[in-house]
């Protein structure tokens, strides 16, 4: 009797504990990347009663820093990263700091962003696995100390194991991989310019850090897909990497891996062919690395149409049949849905014809796949009639940053000088409008999925950008500067602008000669700094000509043969993003909406509702309907009939009713919430937390995590 009573008390204890506590124990909620929580203490009836519970100032902030982290909550402890990529643990109820781990050696600074973490139960305290700079770290979840049995004294150098001398490679990771048993499948970020590092996917043993397998995303001789590239492409082409995360089916051990474009992004004359496995969804056996199936979304990508987010592993009911499926959102605003087991398309897709390229040496692929049932979540072609009536006669500006110049033409006049014909129009020398733009459609925030209804919730951008090709000419009277300009256009202009005038999140380089000389500048270019990845692959001649151009130094002498060698390696065109197509006041040239939140019924392949996401308050006050804004970071959906999302450049976090799209609550954050929020329960109270790192779209940087709960 005593034994039965003890067992009953234990069961009651477990039930009470479960009711009082609920963690957020994986990136985006779970390894299916559902962004879903079954918590409903905060719901559509009481969400207006949310109040600030705590703020945590995570430390280390500068002008261009961000936080994009979707944190974890494990056993009531919240784990996240700050702008300098330091890892911290805080009490999830109070925000009180428990410990902080710094990955940086003396004098080293933060590097890029971290979007999330992995918790792995190692039989002891558990491990937090996370990436900072070029390393993957294993940190004791209780003490914050390195797990020295992992890798090389607690860390893995992500440059190693790619089949090339690692000192010549530039490789980092922004997004956590996926775990099956003791296997971590990890993707990486590499350069998107010529000479980029390989983007191969690797699996590691979480006990030791040793590589278990490698899948070559640019196939080697004898491997499937090798014939979709030039014969020597595996030796010289980089990219085709999985930077946006992946999803794991823990029942079958299949990992679903989205990949990005091959490098360079916008010119493929040196990589003719379909280019498998770039721009593909790979279904891989997590234990062996064997390919089960794949699907390529863009053939021979010329538009940087990386797959931007982990796919959602879902269960849907289509015409009475329950299907275990995988859904992938895209930058172009499309949703593709496949049978998880064999890759069969659930909703129809057709290969549509598109025009050839006018650039010498380029061979654009003649068709691209587009869904014909599920409507796109963003408009697909920017026509002259879509220019906002309110702004049509204002001056045009094509700006990659705050230093953009207003053109003499009006929006309409400028539009008429550009090419705008919808998706997959190859780059040209006039300038092609890419719409929706390079940051979506859907972006890295990804989509939320409600398993109870089969409805996907996904935010989208509708921002026109301009892509332009320039023929490189090396017949200048000063070839050193001219070659340097060509190298700059191919490696640096993507971020710092074609005229060196900087971008929204990148500094102006026009007065570098006031801060640097050749040696110090070349050292920084090679090693990288802050959010900039290094370029260790550049030769001494390339570095010298580049620094000569950046420093306006016309007196450097380089042997003609060295310059000719550099010229032979350089692409014939510099194809670069010129910037967003805006009016003189900084508003998008296209009529609103500029950002939306969408509900898509994946049982039927139909959009249920679409609402603007965000607003420009100054326009609202003038009588404009809500326009929506550009947005970065994803939504979560809860059993309380709510969608929570930050993302917008007006700096609010919002709650929407998941059935209607009605906005029910919003709160002005201390800095932009360009991260996906989380929700959890501790000691009987449900919390919603979002990282407020700012720093994108020209908004101020921040370093706080902010938590909300219902008023007592």
What's the CATH code of the domain at 491? 1.10.760.10
Distance CA 58, CA 71 (A): 13
Q: Contact, 530 vs 109, CB < 8 A?
A: yes
Q: Contact, 646 vs 670, CB < 8 A?
A: no
Within-domain flag for 535: yes
3-class DSSP assignment, residue 100: strand
Q: What is the pLDDT of residues 135-189, one digit of tens each?
A: 999 999 999 999 999 999 999 999 999 999 999 999 999 999 999 999 999 999 9
Among 15-19, 251-255, 399-403, the minimum mean pLDDT is found in 15-19
Could you identify the residue written with the tokens 């820093």? 65
Examine the pLDDT at 630 and tell me if it is beyond 90. yes
Distance CA 539, CA 63 (A): 31
**DSSP E strand boundaries for 163-318:** 171-172, 178-180, 183-186, 189-190, 201-205, 211-215, 247-249, 254-258, 280-285, 291-296, 312-318
Q: What range does the domain containing 549 cover? A: 473-570
Distance CA 449, CA 92 (A): 25
Distance CA 408, CA 416 (A): 14
At residue 10 the predicted structure's pLDDT band, cuts being 50, 70 and 90, is very low
Verify cis geometry, omega within 30 degrees of 0, for the bond prior to 441. Answer: yes
Distance CA 120, CA 185 (A): 13
Token readout for 58 is 């995570």
Q: What is the pLDDT of residue 392?
A: 82
Task: Give mean pLDDT, residues 73-82.
Answer: 98
Within-domain flag for 432: no
CB burial string 32-61: b at 16+ within 10 A, e below: bbbbbbebebbbbeebeebeebbebebeeb
Q: Contact, 571 vs 267, CB < 8 A?
A: yes
Closest CA to 126 of 173, 179, 167, 175: 179
Task: Give mean pLDDT, residues 607-621.
Answer: 96
Examine the pLDDT at 420 and tell me if it is beyond 50. yes
Closest CA to 707 of 222, 58, 26: 58
Distance CA 489, CA 498 (A): 6
Verify cis geometry, omega within 30 degrees of 0, for the bond prior to 679. Answer: no
Q: Contact, 671 vs 701, CB < 8 A?
A: yes
Within-domain flag for 421: no
Token readout for 160 is 């190693």
Closest CA to 325 of 605, 63, 533, 78: 605
Residue 353 CB burial class (10 angstroms; 0-12, 13-18, ≥19)? exposed
The DSSP-derived string for 420-467 is --STTPPP-SS-EEESSBTTBSS-TT-EEEETTTTEEEEEEE---EEE
The more confidently predicted of residues 11 and 513 is: 513
Task: Give mean pLDDT, residues 35-62.
Answer: 97
- Mean pLDDT across the chain: 93
Distance CA 81, CA 643 (A): 24
Examine the pLDDT at 244 and tell me if it is beyond 50. yes
Beta carbons within 8 Å of 511's beta carbon, 6+ residues apart: none
Task: Give mean pLDDT, residues 38-45.
Answer: 98
Q: What is the pLDDT of residue 568?
A: 63
DSSP β-bridge partners for residue 89 = 79, 99
Within-domain flag for 496: yes
Q: Count of alpha carbons within 13 Å of 200, Cβ hemisphere only? A: 23
Examine the pLDDT at 476 and tell me if it is beyond 80. no
Q: What is the pLDDT of residue 603?
A: 98
Q: What is the pLDDT of residue 3?
A: 52
Q: Contact, 123 vs 97, CB < 8 A?
A: no
Secondary structure element (H or E) that encloses residue 234, with its range: helix 233-236
Closest CA to 677 of 692, 659, 696: 692
Q: What is the pLDDT of residue 14?
A: 47
Examine the pLDDT at 537 and tell me if it is beyond 90. no
Distance CA 52, CA 708 (A): 5
Task: Give mean pLDDT, residues 556-583.
Answer: 82
Q: How far is CA 596 from CA 460, 517, 593, in A?
A: 5, 46, 7
At residue 13 the predicted structure's pLDDT band, cuts being 50, 70 and 90, is very low
Within-domain flag for 559: yes
At residue 485 the predicted structure's pLDDT band, cuts being 50, 70 and 90, is confident
Could you identify the residue written with the tokens 């500068």? 62
Within-domain flag for 707: no
Among 423-432, 512-521, 654-663, 664-673, the minimum mean pLDDT is found in 512-521
Q: What percent of the chain has pLDDT over 70?
A: 95
Q: What is the pLDDT of residue 567?
A: 67
Task: Give mean pLDDT, residues 197-222.
Answer: 98
Task: Give mean pLDDT, residues 76-105.
Answer: 96
Within-domain flag for 547: yes
Closest CA to 255 of 185, 343, 339: 185
Global pTM reads: 0.95
The domain tally of the chain equals 1
Distance CA 391, CA 500 (A): 28
Distance CA 200, CA 193 (A): 16
List phi, psi (to 5°) of 9.
-65, -35
Within-domain flag for 277: no
Q: What is the pLDDT of residue 108?
A: 54
Q: What is the pLDDT of residue 9?
A: 45
Closest CA to 55 of 80, 30, 22: 80
Q: Contact, 280 vs 219, CB < 8 A?
A: no
């Amino acid at each position: 009797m005593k034994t039965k009573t003890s067992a009953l008390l234990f069961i009651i204890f477990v039930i009470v504990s479960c009711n009082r506590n609920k963690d957020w124990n994986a990136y985006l909620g779970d390894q299916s990347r559902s962004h879903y929580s079954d918590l409903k203490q905060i719901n559509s009836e009481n969400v207006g009663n949310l109040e600030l519970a705590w703020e945590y100032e995570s430390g280390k902030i500068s002008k261009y820093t961000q936080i994009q982290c979707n944190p974890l909550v494990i056993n009531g402890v919240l784990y996240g990263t700050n702008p300098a990529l330091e890892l911290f643990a805080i009490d999830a109820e109070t925000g009180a700091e428990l410990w902080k781990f710094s990955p940086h050696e003396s004098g080293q600074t933060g590097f890029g962003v971290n979007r999330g973490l992995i918790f792995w139960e190692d039989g002891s305290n558990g491990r937090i696995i996370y990436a900072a700079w070029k390393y993957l770290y294993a940190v004791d979840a209780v003490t914050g100390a390195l797990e020295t049995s992992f890798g090389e004294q607690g860390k893995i150098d992500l440059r190693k194991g790619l089949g090339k001398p690692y000192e010549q490679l530039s490789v980092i990771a922004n997004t956590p991989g996926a775990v099956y048993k003791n296997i971590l499948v990890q993707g990486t970020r590499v350069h998107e310019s010529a000479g980029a590092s390989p983007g191969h996917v690797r699996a590691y043993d979480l006990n030791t850090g040793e590589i278990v397998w490698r899948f070559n995303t640019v196939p080697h001789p004898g491997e499937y897909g090798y014939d979709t590239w030039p014969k020597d492409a595996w030796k010289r082409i980089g990219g085709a990497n999985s930077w946006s995360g992946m999803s794991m089916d823990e029942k079958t051990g299949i990992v679903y891996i989205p990949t990005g474009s091959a490098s360079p992004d916008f010119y493929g004359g040196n990589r003719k062919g379909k280019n498998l496995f770039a721009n593909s969804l790979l279904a891989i056996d997590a234990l062996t690395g064997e390919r089960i199936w794949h699907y390529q979304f863009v053939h021979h990508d010329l538009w940087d149409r990386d797959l931007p987010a982990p796919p959602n592993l879902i269960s849907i009911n289509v015409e009475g049949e329950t299907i275990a499926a995988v859904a992938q959102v895209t930058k172009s605003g499309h949703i593709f849905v496949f049978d998880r087991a064999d890759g069969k398309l659930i909703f129809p897709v057709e290969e549509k014809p598109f025009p050839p390229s006018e650039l010498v040496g380029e061979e654009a692929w003649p068709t691209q796949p587009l869904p014909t049932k599920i409507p796109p979540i963003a408009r697909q072609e920017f026509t002259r009639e879509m220019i906002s009536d309110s702004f049509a006669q204002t001056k045009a500006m094509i700006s990659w940053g705050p230093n953009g110049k207003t053109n003499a033409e009006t929006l309409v006049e400028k539009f008429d000088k550009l090419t705008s014909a919808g998706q997959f129009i190859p780059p040209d020398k006039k300038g092609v409008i890419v719409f929706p733009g390079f940051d979506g459609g859907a972006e890295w925030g990804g989509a939320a999925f409600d398993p109870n209804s089969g409805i996907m919730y996904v935010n989208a951008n509708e921002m026109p950008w301009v892509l332009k090709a320039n023929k490189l000419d090396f017949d200048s009277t000063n070839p050193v500067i001219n070659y340097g300009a060509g190298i700059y256009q191919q490696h640096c202009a993507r971020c710092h602008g074609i005229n060196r005038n900087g971008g929204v999140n990148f500094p102006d380089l026009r007065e570098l000669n006031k801060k640097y000389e050749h040696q110090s500048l070349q050292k920084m270019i090679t090693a990288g700094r802050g959010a900039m990845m290094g370029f260790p692959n550049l030769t001494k001649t390339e570095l010298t000509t580049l620094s000569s151009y950046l420093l306006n130094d016309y007196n450097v002498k380089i042997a003609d043969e060295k310059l000719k060698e550099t010229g032979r390696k350089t692409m014939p065109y510099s194809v670069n993003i010129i910037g967003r197509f805006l009016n003189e006041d900084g508003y998008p040239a296209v009529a609103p909406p500029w950002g939306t939140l969408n509900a898509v019924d994946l049982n039927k392949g139909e959009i249920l509702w679409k609402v603007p996401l965000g607003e420009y308050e100054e326009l609202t006050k003038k009588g404009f309907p809500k326009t929506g804004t550009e947005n970065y970071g994803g939504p979560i959906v809860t059993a309380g009939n709510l969608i929570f999302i930050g993302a917008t450049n007006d700096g609010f976090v919002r709650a929407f009713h998941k059935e209607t799209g009605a906005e029910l609550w919003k709160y002005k954050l201390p800095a932009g919430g360009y991260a996906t929020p989380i929700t959890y329960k501790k000691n009987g109270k449900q919390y919603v937390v979002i990282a407020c790192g700012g720093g994108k779209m020209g908004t101020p940087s921040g370093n706080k995590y902010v938590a909300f709960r219902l008023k007592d």
